[in-house]
Structure 1
Amino acid sequence: MESVNERHIAGAGTPESVWMESFTTRNVFQGTVVELLANSKTVHIIAPHPDDEILACGGIIQQLAQMKVSVQIVAVTDGEASHPGSCRWPASMLAAARRAEVKLATRMLAPQATRTRLQFADGGVSASENELTVTLSALLDKNDIVIVPWRLDGHPDHEAVGRAGCKASAIRGCRLFEVPIWGWHWASPNRREFPWHRVVSIALSPEERYRKEQAIRFFRTQTEPDPGTGRAAVLPRFALERFRRPFEVVFR
Protein backbone atom coordinates (compact mmCIF):
# COMPACT_ATOMS: atom_id res chain seq x y z
CA MET A 1 0.00 0.00 0.00
CA GLU A 2 1.45 3.34 -1.05
CA SER A 3 0.47 6.95 -1.61
CA VAL A 4 -2.95 7.58 -3.11
CA ASN A 5 -4.86 9.55 -5.75
CA GLU A 6 -7.93 11.71 -6.19
CA ARG A 7 -10.30 9.54 -4.16
CA HIS A 8 -9.34 11.77 -1.26
CA ILE A 9 -7.62 9.21 0.92
CA ALA A 10 -6.38 11.48 3.66
CA GLY A 11 -6.25 11.51 7.42
CA ALA A 12 -7.57 8.48 9.27
CA GLY A 13 -10.38 7.75 6.81
CA THR A 14 -13.61 6.01 7.75
CA PRO A 15 -13.24 4.55 11.28
CA GLU A 16 -13.29 0.79 11.52
CA SER A 17 -16.06 1.05 14.13
CA VAL A 18 -18.33 2.61 11.47
CA TRP A 19 -17.67 -0.25 9.07
CA MET A 20 -18.23 -2.90 11.72
CA GLU A 21 -21.49 -1.34 12.84
CA SER A 22 -22.70 -1.37 9.24
CA PHE A 23 -21.71 -5.02 8.79
CA THR A 24 -23.74 -5.97 11.86
CA THR A 25 -26.87 -4.13 10.70
CA ARG A 26 -26.88 -5.08 7.00
CA ASN A 27 -27.93 -8.37 5.48
CA VAL A 28 -24.49 -9.19 4.06
CA PHE A 29 -24.14 -12.38 2.03
CA GLN A 30 -22.15 -14.99 3.97
CA GLY A 31 -20.09 -17.10 1.63
CA THR A 32 -17.38 -19.72 1.77
CA VAL A 33 -14.18 -20.35 -0.15
CA VAL A 34 -15.70 -23.58 -1.47
CA GLU A 35 -18.54 -21.58 -3.03
CA LEU A 36 -16.13 -19.07 -4.54
CA LEU A 37 -14.06 -21.83 -6.10
CA ALA A 38 -16.97 -23.52 -7.88
CA ASN A 39 -14.71 -26.50 -8.76
CA SER A 40 -11.79 -24.37 -9.94
CA LYS A 41 -8.37 -25.73 -9.00
CA THR A 42 -6.25 -22.59 -9.41
CA VAL A 43 -6.59 -19.15 -7.84
CA HIS A 44 -4.53 -16.19 -9.03
CA ILE A 45 -4.18 -13.32 -6.56
CA ILE A 46 -2.90 -10.22 -8.36
CA ALA A 47 -1.03 -7.96 -5.91
CA PRO A 48 -0.03 -4.43 -6.94
CA HIS A 49 2.50 -4.18 -4.09
CA PRO A 50 4.04 -6.67 -1.65
CA ASP A 51 1.58 -6.90 1.28
CA ASP A 52 -1.68 -6.22 -0.60
CA GLU A 53 -2.40 -9.93 -1.03
CA ILE A 54 -1.86 -10.63 2.68
CA LEU A 55 -3.88 -7.64 3.91
CA ALA A 56 -6.90 -8.36 1.72
CA CYS A 57 -6.75 -12.16 1.43
CA GLY A 58 -4.52 -13.53 4.20
CA GLY A 59 -7.32 -15.66 5.60
CA ILE A 60 -8.63 -16.77 2.22
CA ILE A 61 -5.10 -17.77 1.22
CA GLN A 62 -4.89 -20.01 4.29
CA GLN A 63 -8.20 -21.65 3.49
CA LEU A 64 -7.17 -22.27 -0.11
CA ALA A 65 -3.89 -23.81 1.06
CA GLN A 66 -5.73 -26.11 3.47
CA MET A 67 -7.86 -27.30 0.54
CA LYS A 68 -4.73 -28.01 -1.55
CA VAL A 69 -5.82 -25.46 -4.15
CA SER A 70 -3.05 -24.02 -6.31
CA VAL A 71 -2.46 -20.44 -5.11
CA GLN A 72 -0.64 -18.35 -7.70
CA ILE A 73 0.37 -14.90 -6.45
CA VAL A 74 1.29 -12.37 -9.11
CA ALA A 75 3.50 -9.55 -7.79
CA VAL A 76 2.96 -6.66 -10.19
CA THR A 77 5.53 -4.30 -8.60
CA ASP A 78 8.20 -4.62 -5.92
CA GLY A 79 6.79 -1.68 -3.96
CA GLU A 80 9.98 0.32 -4.37
CA ALA A 81 8.29 3.74 -4.30
CA SER A 82 6.62 3.66 -0.88
CA HIS A 83 9.37 5.74 0.83
CA PRO A 84 10.26 8.58 -1.55
CA GLY A 85 13.35 10.55 -0.60
CA SER A 86 14.33 8.20 2.21
CA CYS A 87 18.03 7.70 2.91
CA ARG A 88 17.09 4.66 4.99
CA TRP A 89 15.11 3.04 2.18
CA PRO A 90 16.47 3.86 -1.29
CA ALA A 91 14.42 2.18 -3.98
CA SER A 92 16.62 -0.84 -4.64
CA MET A 93 17.07 -1.63 -0.96
CA LEU A 94 13.38 -1.13 -0.26
CA ALA A 95 12.36 -3.44 -3.10
CA ALA A 96 14.61 -6.19 -1.77
CA ALA A 97 13.30 -5.72 1.77
CA ARG A 98 9.68 -5.85 0.67
CA ARG A 99 10.26 -9.00 -1.36
CA ALA A 100 11.80 -10.62 1.71
CA GLU A 101 8.90 -9.51 3.92
CA VAL A 102 6.21 -10.88 1.67
CA LYS A 103 8.12 -14.12 1.16
CA LEU A 104 8.12 -14.71 4.93
CA ALA A 105 4.45 -13.78 5.24
CA THR A 106 3.39 -16.05 2.39
CA ARG A 107 5.46 -18.93 3.72
CA MET A 108 3.60 -18.65 7.04
CA LEU A 109 0.15 -18.75 5.43
CA ALA A 110 0.57 -20.94 2.35
CA PRO A 111 4.02 -22.53 1.98
CA GLN A 112 3.14 -24.10 -1.39
CA ALA A 113 1.94 -20.86 -2.99
CA THR A 114 3.92 -19.73 -6.01
CA ARG A 115 4.88 -16.15 -6.80
CA THR A 116 5.42 -14.58 -10.21
CA ARG A 117 7.30 -11.27 -10.14
CA LEU A 118 6.43 -8.91 -13.00
CA GLN A 119 8.56 -5.88 -12.01
CA PHE A 120 6.28 -3.16 -13.30
CA ALA A 121 7.18 0.29 -11.98
CA ASP A 122 5.68 1.07 -8.58
CA GLY A 123 3.43 4.09 -9.00
CA GLY A 124 3.43 3.71 -12.78
CA VAL A 125 1.18 0.74 -13.47
CA SER A 126 -1.50 2.87 -15.12
CA ALA A 127 0.92 3.83 -17.88
CA SER A 128 1.53 0.13 -18.62
CA GLU A 129 -2.02 -1.14 -18.20
CA ASN A 130 -2.31 -2.61 -21.69
CA GLU A 131 1.01 -4.42 -21.30
CA LEU A 132 -0.12 -5.74 -17.93
CA THR A 133 -3.37 -7.02 -19.43
CA VAL A 134 -1.42 -9.01 -22.03
CA THR A 135 1.00 -10.32 -19.41
CA LEU A 136 -1.78 -11.45 -17.09
CA SER A 137 -3.70 -13.08 -19.93
CA ALA A 138 -0.71 -15.31 -20.62
CA LEU A 139 -0.74 -16.52 -16.99
CA LEU A 140 -4.41 -17.49 -16.85
CA ASP A 141 -6.34 -20.52 -18.00
CA LYS A 142 -10.05 -20.92 -18.63
CA ASN A 143 -12.11 -21.38 -15.44
CA ASP A 144 -9.33 -20.17 -13.13
CA ILE A 145 -10.30 -17.84 -10.29
CA VAL A 146 -8.75 -14.35 -10.34
CA ILE A 147 -8.70 -11.97 -7.35
CA VAL A 148 -7.76 -8.35 -8.01
CA PRO A 149 -8.01 -5.03 -6.14
CA TRP A 150 -11.30 -3.17 -6.46
CA ARG A 151 -11.34 -1.05 -9.58
CA LEU A 152 -12.37 1.94 -7.41
CA ASP A 153 -9.87 1.21 -4.67
CA GLY A 154 -8.31 4.68 -4.69
CA HIS A 155 -4.66 3.98 -5.36
CA PRO A 156 -3.88 4.35 -9.10
CA ASP A 157 -1.79 1.17 -9.14
CA HIS A 158 -4.58 -0.79 -7.45
CA GLU A 159 -7.18 0.48 -9.88
CA ALA A 160 -4.99 -0.21 -12.92
CA VAL A 161 -4.32 -3.76 -11.70
CA GLY A 162 -8.06 -4.21 -11.12
CA ARG A 163 -8.90 -3.08 -14.65
CA ALA A 164 -6.15 -5.15 -16.25
CA GLY A 165 -7.16 -8.21 -14.26
CA CYS A 166 -10.78 -7.75 -15.28
CA LYS A 167 -9.87 -7.53 -18.97
CA ALA A 168 -7.49 -10.49 -18.80
CA SER A 169 -10.10 -12.60 -16.98
CA ALA A 170 -12.70 -11.83 -19.63
CA ILE A 171 -10.26 -12.73 -22.39
CA ARG A 172 -9.35 -16.06 -20.80
CA GLY A 173 -12.77 -17.03 -19.44
CA CYS A 174 -11.90 -16.77 -15.74
CA ARG A 175 -14.11 -15.95 -12.76
CA LEU A 176 -13.18 -12.59 -11.25
CA PHE A 177 -13.48 -11.26 -7.71
CA GLU A 178 -12.41 -7.84 -6.48
CA VAL A 179 -11.15 -6.93 -3.00
CA PRO A 180 -11.14 -3.48 -1.38
CA ILE A 181 -7.90 -2.42 0.30
CA TRP A 182 -7.66 1.39 0.29
CA GLY A 183 -11.38 1.37 -0.41
CA TRP A 184 -12.02 0.88 3.30
CA HIS A 185 -10.29 4.22 3.85
CA TRP A 186 -11.87 6.60 1.34
CA ALA A 187 -15.32 5.01 1.09
CA SER A 188 -18.00 4.83 3.77
CA PRO A 189 -20.96 2.48 4.27
CA ASN A 190 -23.47 5.02 2.96
CA ARG A 191 -21.59 6.24 -0.11
CA ARG A 192 -23.26 5.04 -3.29
CA GLU A 193 -19.93 3.90 -4.74
CA PHE A 194 -19.63 1.12 -2.18
CA PRO A 195 -21.26 -1.96 -3.80
CA TRP A 196 -23.03 -3.68 -0.93
CA HIS A 197 -24.99 -5.80 -3.42
CA ARG A 198 -21.70 -7.44 -4.49
CA VAL A 199 -20.29 -8.10 -1.02
CA VAL A 200 -19.45 -11.65 0.03
CA SER A 201 -18.18 -12.09 3.59
CA ILE A 202 -15.80 -15.01 4.20
CA ALA A 203 -15.53 -15.99 7.87
CA LEU A 204 -12.10 -16.60 9.40
CA SER A 205 -11.37 -18.88 12.32
CA PRO A 206 -9.49 -17.54 15.37
CA GLU A 207 -6.43 -19.49 14.22
CA GLU A 208 -6.59 -17.99 10.74
CA ARG A 209 -6.93 -14.49 12.16
CA TYR A 210 -3.94 -15.08 14.43
CA ARG A 211 -1.72 -16.35 11.61
CA LYS A 212 -2.75 -13.44 9.39
CA GLU A 213 -1.88 -11.00 12.16
CA GLN A 214 1.51 -12.64 12.60
CA ALA A 215 2.11 -12.52 8.85
CA ILE A 216 1.32 -8.80 8.73
CA ARG A 217 3.96 -8.21 11.40
CA PHE A 218 6.63 -9.16 8.86
CA PHE A 219 5.92 -5.94 6.91
CA ARG A 220 8.13 -3.72 9.03
CA THR A 221 8.94 -1.38 6.15
CA GLN A 222 5.23 -0.52 6.04
CA THR A 223 4.20 -0.69 9.70
CA GLU A 224 7.06 1.30 11.24
CA PRO A 225 7.91 5.01 10.81
CA ASP A 226 10.67 5.92 8.38
CA PRO A 227 13.72 7.17 10.31
CA GLY A 228 15.16 8.51 7.07
CA THR A 229 12.39 11.07 6.54
CA GLY A 230 10.51 11.19 9.83
CA ARG A 231 7.31 10.14 8.07
CA ALA A 232 4.73 8.04 9.87
CA ALA A 233 4.21 4.39 8.97
CA VAL A 234 2.59 3.71 5.60
CA LEU A 235 0.25 1.33 7.44
CA PRO A 236 -0.61 3.04 10.75
CA ARG A 237 -2.67 1.36 13.43
CA PHE A 238 -6.02 2.69 12.18
CA ALA A 239 -5.35 1.20 8.73
CA LEU A 240 -4.33 -2.18 10.10
CA GLU A 241 -7.55 -2.45 12.11
CA ARG A 242 -9.44 -2.99 8.85
CA PHE A 243 -7.53 -6.20 8.22
CA ARG A 244 -8.03 -7.73 11.68
CA ARG A 245 -11.69 -8.53 11.21
CA PRO A 246 -13.15 -12.01 11.80
CA PHE A 247 -13.96 -12.08 8.09
CA GLU A 248 -12.62 -10.96 4.72
CA VAL A 249 -14.63 -9.38 1.92
CA VAL A 250 -14.68 -10.02 -1.80
CA PHE A 251 -16.90 -8.40 -4.42
CA ARG A 252 -18.53 -10.92 -6.76
Structure 2
Amino acid sequence: MVRPIAGEGTTEGTWRAWAAMEQWPALSLDPPGPPLVVAPHPDDEILGVAGLMTMLGAADLVAVTDGEASHPGSTVYPQEELAAIRQAETDEALRRLRVTTTVYRLGQPDGGIDEERLAADLARLLTPGRWCLTTWRGDGHPDHETVGRATARACAATGARLLEYPIWAWHWAYPDDPDVPWDRARRVDLPPAAQAAKAAAIAAFPSQIAPLGPAEADAAILPPHVLARFARPFEVIFE
Protein backbone atom coordinates (compact mmCIF):
# COMPACT_ATOMS: atom_id res chain seq x y z
CA MET A 1 0.00 0.00 0.00
CA VAL A 2 1.61 3.24 -1.15
CA ARG A 3 1.83 5.80 1.66
CA PRO A 4 2.45 9.54 1.41
CA ILE A 5 6.04 10.26 2.35
CA ALA A 6 6.02 14.01 2.82
CA GLY A 7 6.89 16.49 5.53
CA GLU A 8 8.79 15.38 8.60
CA GLY A 9 6.53 12.47 9.52
CA THR A 10 6.59 10.93 12.99
CA THR A 11 9.55 12.39 14.81
CA GLU A 12 12.26 10.25 16.32
CA GLY A 13 11.47 11.84 19.67
CA THR A 14 7.94 10.45 19.44
CA TRP A 15 9.25 6.98 18.68
CA ARG A 16 11.83 7.01 21.46
CA ALA A 17 9.18 8.09 23.97
CA TRP A 18 7.12 4.98 23.14
CA ALA A 19 7.72 2.57 26.00
CA ALA A 20 6.84 -0.50 23.92
CA MET A 21 10.10 -0.24 21.98
CA GLU A 22 12.05 -1.12 25.13
CA GLN A 23 9.93 -4.21 25.71
CA TRP A 24 10.36 -5.93 22.34
CA PRO A 25 12.27 -9.23 22.65
CA ALA A 26 15.76 -9.50 21.26
CA LEU A 27 16.34 -11.22 17.95
CA SER A 28 18.41 -14.34 18.52
CA LEU A 29 21.61 -13.88 16.51
CA ASP A 30 22.05 -17.48 15.46
CA PRO A 31 22.04 -17.61 11.65
CA PRO A 32 23.39 -20.84 10.15
CA GLY A 33 25.75 -18.82 7.97
CA PRO A 34 25.99 -15.43 6.25
CA PRO A 35 22.49 -14.04 5.66
CA LEU A 36 21.27 -12.75 2.33
CA VAL A 37 20.30 -9.07 2.58
CA VAL A 38 17.99 -7.78 -0.15
CA ALA A 39 17.90 -4.02 -0.83
CA PRO A 40 15.54 -2.31 -3.27
CA HIS A 41 17.91 0.67 -3.54
CA PRO A 42 21.49 1.36 -2.46
CA ASP A 43 21.43 2.44 1.23
CA ASP A 44 18.26 0.56 2.27
CA GLU A 45 20.35 -2.30 3.65
CA ILE A 46 22.58 0.15 5.51
CA LEU A 47 19.73 2.12 7.06
CA GLY A 48 17.87 -1.01 8.07
CA VAL A 49 20.41 -3.60 9.14
CA ALA A 50 23.98 -2.29 8.90
CA GLY A 51 24.46 -2.81 12.62
CA LEU A 52 23.31 -6.41 12.40
CA MET A 53 25.51 -7.01 9.37
CA THR A 54 28.63 -5.75 11.09
CA MET A 55 27.86 -7.74 14.25
CA LEU A 56 27.56 -10.93 12.20
CA GLY A 57 30.72 -10.10 10.26
CA ALA A 58 29.49 -11.57 6.98
CA ALA A 59 26.43 -11.02 4.81
CA ASP A 60 25.73 -11.26 1.09
CA LEU A 61 23.88 -8.39 -0.57
CA VAL A 62 21.37 -8.38 -3.41
CA ALA A 63 21.20 -4.86 -4.88
CA VAL A 64 17.93 -5.05 -6.78
CA THR A 65 18.26 -1.64 -8.45
CA ASP A 66 21.05 0.90 -8.68
CA GLY A 67 18.83 3.68 -7.31
CA GLU A 68 19.10 5.73 -10.49
CA ALA A 69 15.67 7.33 -10.03
CA SER A 70 16.32 8.84 -6.60
CA HIS A 71 16.46 12.34 -8.11
CA PRO A 72 14.17 12.47 -11.15
CA GLY A 73 14.75 15.72 -12.97
CA SER A 74 18.16 16.29 -11.39
CA THR A 75 19.99 19.27 -12.85
CA VAL A 76 23.35 17.75 -11.88
CA TYR A 77 23.44 14.06 -12.82
CA PRO A 78 21.75 11.98 -15.52
CA GLN A 79 20.35 8.69 -14.28
CA GLU A 80 23.16 6.52 -15.65
CA GLU A 81 25.76 8.62 -13.82
CA LEU A 82 23.78 8.60 -10.60
CA ALA A 83 23.54 4.80 -10.82
CA ALA A 84 27.32 4.54 -10.98
CA ILE A 85 27.70 6.92 -8.05
CA ARG A 86 25.32 4.90 -5.91
CA GLN A 87 27.07 1.64 -6.77
CA ALA A 88 30.34 3.16 -5.60
CA GLU A 89 28.69 4.44 -2.42
CA THR A 90 27.44 0.94 -1.61
CA ASP A 91 30.92 -0.48 -2.07
CA GLU A 92 32.38 2.15 0.25
CA ALA A 93 29.66 1.60 2.86
CA LEU A 94 30.36 -2.14 2.93
CA ARG A 95 34.07 -1.46 3.24
CA ARG A 96 33.39 0.73 6.28
CA LEU A 97 31.31 -2.02 7.86
CA ARG A 98 34.20 -4.48 7.42
CA VAL A 99 31.74 -7.16 6.40
CA THR A 100 32.74 -10.12 4.29
CA THR A 101 30.28 -10.03 1.42
CA THR A 102 29.39 -10.90 -2.13
CA VAL A 103 27.27 -8.30 -3.93
CA TYR A 104 24.76 -9.42 -6.54
CA ARG A 105 23.68 -6.47 -8.68
CA LEU A 106 20.47 -7.31 -10.52
CA GLY A 107 20.15 -4.02 -12.41
CA GLN A 108 16.36 -3.92 -12.28
CA PRO A 109 14.84 -0.52 -13.06
CA ASP A 110 14.38 1.79 -10.10
CA GLY A 111 10.62 2.27 -9.87
CA GLY A 112 9.81 -0.63 -12.18
CA ILE A 113 10.88 -3.83 -10.43
CA ASP A 114 9.72 -7.11 -11.96
CA GLU A 115 8.43 -9.07 -8.96
CA GLU A 116 8.27 -12.43 -10.73
CA ARG A 117 11.81 -12.22 -12.04
CA LEU A 118 13.13 -11.04 -8.70
CA ALA A 119 11.50 -13.93 -6.83
CA ALA A 120 13.11 -16.39 -9.25
CA ASP A 121 16.53 -14.73 -8.95
CA LEU A 122 16.39 -14.78 -5.16
CA ALA A 123 15.29 -18.41 -5.02
CA ARG A 124 18.54 -19.36 -6.72
CA LEU A 125 20.51 -17.77 -3.86
CA LEU A 126 18.53 -19.22 -0.96
CA THR A 127 18.68 -22.53 0.86
CA PRO A 128 16.59 -24.02 3.67
CA GLY A 129 17.10 -22.14 6.91
CA ARG A 130 19.25 -19.37 5.44
CA TRP A 131 18.36 -15.97 6.85
CA CYS A 132 17.02 -13.54 4.27
CA LEU A 133 16.55 -9.92 5.31
CA THR A 134 14.47 -7.59 3.17
CA THR A 135 12.33 -4.48 3.34
CA TRP A 136 8.97 -4.97 5.04
CA ARG A 137 6.10 -5.81 2.69
CA GLY A 138 3.98 -3.01 4.20
CA ASP A 139 6.68 -0.32 4.20
CA GLY A 140 4.65 2.14 2.14
CA HIS A 141 7.16 2.61 -0.70
CA PRO A 142 6.18 0.68 -3.85
CA ASP A 143 9.68 -0.68 -4.54
CA HIS A 144 10.13 -1.72 -0.92
CA GLU A 145 6.84 -3.58 -0.92
CA THR A 146 7.49 -5.27 -4.27
CA VAL A 147 10.88 -6.46 -3.08
CA GLY A 148 9.39 -7.62 0.21
CA ARG A 149 6.71 -9.67 -1.54
CA ALA A 150 9.17 -11.22 -3.99
CA THR A 151 11.52 -12.13 -1.16
CA ALA A 152 8.70 -13.67 0.87
CA ARG A 153 7.79 -15.83 -2.13
CA ALA A 154 11.38 -16.93 -2.61
CA CYS A 155 11.72 -17.81 1.07
CA ALA A 156 8.48 -19.81 1.00
CA ALA A 157 9.69 -21.71 -2.05
CA THR A 158 13.12 -22.53 -0.63
CA GLY A 159 12.57 -22.84 3.12
CA ALA A 160 14.75 -19.82 3.86
CA ARG A 161 13.92 -17.73 6.94
CA LEU A 162 12.27 -14.39 6.12
CA LEU A 163 13.15 -11.37 8.27
CA GLU A 164 11.82 -7.92 7.33
CA TYR A 165 13.17 -4.47 8.19
CA PRO A 166 11.05 -1.29 8.08
CA ILE A 167 12.46 1.87 6.51
CA TRP A 168 9.73 4.34 5.52
CA ALA A 169 7.22 2.97 8.02
CA TRP A 170 9.06 5.03 10.63
CA HIS A 171 7.96 8.10 8.68
CA TRP A 172 4.23 7.50 8.11
CA ALA A 173 3.37 5.12 10.96
CA TYR A 174 2.93 6.06 14.61
CA PRO A 175 3.21 4.25 17.96
CA ASP A 176 0.59 1.50 18.26
CA ASP A 177 -0.36 1.98 14.58
CA PRO A 178 -2.66 -0.98 13.86
CA ASP A 179 -1.29 -1.29 10.31
CA VAL A 180 2.15 -2.33 11.59
CA PRO A 181 2.87 -5.85 12.93
CA TRP A 182 4.38 -4.72 16.23
CA ASP A 183 3.76 -8.19 17.67
CA ARG A 184 6.47 -9.46 15.28
CA ALA A 185 8.99 -6.75 16.25
CA ARG A 186 12.38 -7.87 17.52
CA ARG A 187 15.26 -5.69 18.69
CA VAL A 188 18.89 -5.94 17.68
CA ASP A 189 20.77 -3.94 20.30
CA LEU A 190 23.94 -2.45 18.86
CA PRO A 191 27.17 -2.18 20.84
CA PRO A 192 29.08 1.11 20.41
CA ALA A 193 31.38 -0.34 17.74
CA ALA A 194 28.42 -1.43 15.60
CA GLN A 195 26.74 1.96 16.06
CA ALA A 196 29.91 3.71 14.91
CA ALA A 197 30.29 1.41 11.91
CA LYS A 198 26.69 2.02 10.89
CA ALA A 199 27.09 5.79 11.18
CA ALA A 200 30.21 5.64 9.03
CA ALA A 201 28.43 3.50 6.44
CA ILE A 202 25.48 5.90 6.24
CA ALA A 203 27.93 8.76 5.72
CA ALA A 204 29.21 6.90 2.63
CA PHE A 205 26.06 8.00 0.74
CA PRO A 206 26.58 11.73 0.10
CA SER A 207 24.28 11.55 -2.95
CA GLN A 208 21.41 10.79 -0.56
CA ILE A 209 22.22 12.62 2.66
CA ALA A 210 23.29 15.93 1.08
CA PRO A 211 21.83 17.99 -1.78
CA LEU A 212 23.27 17.30 -5.22
CA GLY A 213 22.82 20.98 -6.06
CA PRO A 214 20.70 24.04 -5.26
CA ALA A 215 17.65 23.04 -7.33
CA GLU A 216 14.63 21.51 -5.58
CA ALA A 217 15.02 18.40 -7.75
CA ASP A 218 18.46 17.88 -6.22
CA ALA A 219 17.40 18.02 -2.56
CA ALA A 220 18.65 15.42 -0.08
CA ILE A 221 16.55 12.26 0.04
CA LEU A 222 17.69 11.52 3.60
CA PRO A 223 17.72 14.82 5.52
CA PRO A 224 18.57 14.92 9.24
CA HIS A 225 15.05 14.19 10.52
CA VAL A 226 15.02 10.96 8.49
CA LEU A 227 18.55 9.94 9.46
CA ALA A 228 17.68 10.39 13.14
CA ARG A 229 15.52 7.26 12.95
CA PHE A 230 18.54 5.20 11.94
CA ALA A 231 20.92 6.55 14.57
CA ARG A 232 19.28 4.52 17.33
CA PRO A 233 21.35 2.14 19.45
CA PHE A 234 19.17 -0.69 18.15
CA GLU A 235 17.59 -1.96 14.93
CA VAL A 236 14.13 -3.44 14.48
CA ILE A 237 13.27 -6.62 12.60
CA PHE A 238 9.86 -8.12 11.95
CA GLU A 239 10.28 -11.84 12.55
Structure 1 unaligned spans of 5+: none
Specify the alignment match of 2:82 in structure 1: 94
Specify the alignment match of 2:42 in structure 1: 50
Spell out structure 1 runs of 4+ moving beyond 6 A. none
SS in 1 for 2:204: coil
Question: TM-score, normalized by length of structure 1?
Answer: 0.90
Deviation at residue 26 of structure 1 after TM alignment: 5.6
Give me the whole-angstrom Cα distance separating, in 2, the residues matched to 1:85 and 1:179.
29
User: What's the Cα RMSD here?
Assistant: 1.5
Query: Is 1:41 paired with 2:33?
Result: yes
AA of the residue aligned to 1:192: P
Q: Deviations over 1:167-222 (max 9, x none)?
A: 00000011110000011111111210121110000100111111111111110000
Q: Which moved more, 1:227-236 or 1:173-182?
A: 227-236
Structure 2 unaligned spans of 5+: none
Q: Which moved more, 1:135-144 or 1:49-58?
A: 135-144
Picking from 198, 209, 214, the partner of 1:212 is 198
Aligned length: 238
Instruction: From the superposition, tell whether residues 203 and 25 of structure 1 become closer, same or farther in structure 2 (CA, over 3 Å).
Output: closer
Specify the alignment match of 1:240 in structure 2: 227
Give me the whole-angstrom Cα distance separating, in 2, the residues matched to 1:143 and 1:32.
14
Mapped contact 2:189–2:235 kept (Cα < 8 A): yes
Give me the whole-angstrom Cα distance separating, in 1, the residues matched to 2:124 and 2:9.
37
Give me the whole-angstrom Cα distance separating, in 1, the residues matched to 2:106 and 2:4.
29
Give me the whole-angstrom Cα distance separating, in 2, the residues matched to 1:160 and 1:240.
23
Question: TM-score, normalized by length of structure 2?
Answer: 0.95
Query: Is 1:190 paired with 2:186?
Result: no
SS in 1 for 2:26: strand
Deviation at residue 9 of structure 1 after TM alignment: 1.7
Give me the whole-angstrom Cα distance separating, in 2, the residues matched to 1:113 and 1:23.
36
Deviation at residue 32 of structure 1 after TM alignment: 3.7
